[in-house]
Amino acid sequence: MYSIILPCYNERDNLRLLISKIQKILKNINFEIIIIDDNSEDGTEKMITESFSKMQNLMFVKRENKIKSLGKSVLEGMLKTKNNYIIVMDSDFNHDPNDLLKIIEIQTKHHYDLICCSRFLDKKSNDFVLRYKLSEYYNLLIKPFLNSKIKDNLSGFFLINKELLSNLKSNKIFYGYGDYYFRLLFYLQKKTNKIYEMGIVYNERKYGKSKTRFLKTFFQYTYQVIKLKFNYEKN
C-alpha cells in the first residue's frame, strides 16, 4: 500500500480537483491520501469535510503549530502512515498526478528505496521559462556543495521507503520550506544506492498564486546549503 502525502496551505480549489484525479488514476492501486494542512485560511478543511467525507482512504490532519513549515508538514505526514512506501507531492498541480502511476510501476518492478522526480532530465516544462531556467541553474550551483548525483535537488516530488527514515535525525532535516528536500537527499544518498531519478514535466499551478518569493528563497536556500555542508564536515 502507498501513502500519498499532500502538504498544503490555502490550496482548497486545487485539492478538490487533485484528490478526484488521484482517485481515478490509482483506481486499481491500494493507496491512501494524507493531507497535512498548514493552518489554511481558505476553507480547505470545510471543503474536505463536505466533498470527501465518505472517502475512507483519506486522512485530513490540521497542524496545530502556528509556525508554517513545509518541512514539518511533510514529516508529520510521514509519521502518520504505517505503510512502507510514501509519495510526497505538491497540492497545486505543479506535479502531475499522472506521474504517480509511473512512479509506482517503477518501484514495483525495481524495488528502489528512493525515486526522485526531476524537471531537468527531459528538459521539458510547462512552467514559466524564466523560473524553470533559474531553478535549473541554481541546482547546478548547489550540486557541488551537496556532493549530489541527483540533477534536481529541489523538486519535492518523490517516493521513499519509510525504513530509510529510521536512523535519520529528523530535526536536522524537516524544517523550513522546500530546503528540507535537499537536506533529505543529502543524507539519503549516504544511506542507500538504490536511487532512481525519473524525468517529469513541471506544470503551472491550476489555481491561486505561488507562495515562493525568489530573492527570499534564494538567500534562504543558499544559507542552508552552506550550513549543511559546513556542519557535516565539522562533524
User: Once rounded to an integer, what is the mean pLDDT over residues 134-145?
Assistant: 88
C-alpha cell at 17: 480537483
Please compute, for residue 42, the number of CA atoms within 13 A of its CA located in the half-sphere on the CB side.
14
Measured CA to CA in angstroms, residue 64 lies from 39, 68, 205 at distances of 7, 10, 26
For residue 123, count CB atoms less than 10 angstroms from its CB and return exposed for 0-12, middle for 13-18, buried for 19 or more. Answer: exposed
pTM over 0.85: yes
Q: With bands split at pLDDT 50, 70 and 90, how would you rate the model's confidence at 123?
A: low
Q: Which fold has domain 2-234?
A: Spore Coat Polysaccharide Biosynthesis Protein SpsA; Chain A (3.90.550)
The model's pLDDT over 25-49, given as tens digits with 9 standing for 90+, comes to 999 999 999 999 999 999 999 999 9
Structure confidence at residue 104 (pLDDT):
97
The model's pLDDT over 191-215, given as tens digits with 9 standing for 90+, comes to 999 999 999 998 887 877 776 667 7
59: enclosing H helix or E strand: strand 58-62
More confident residue, 211 or 224: 224
The model's pLDDT over 47-81, given as tens digits with 9 standing for 90+, comes to 999 999 889 999 999 998 778 899 999 999 999 99
Structure confidence at residue 127 (pLDDT):
63
C-alpha cell at 84: 512502507
Residue-range domain boundaries for the chain: 2-234
Q: With bands split at pLDDT 50, 70 and 90, how would you rate the model's confidence at 126?
A: low
Structure confidence at residue 23 (pLDDT):
96
Structure confidence at residue 122 (pLDDT):
76
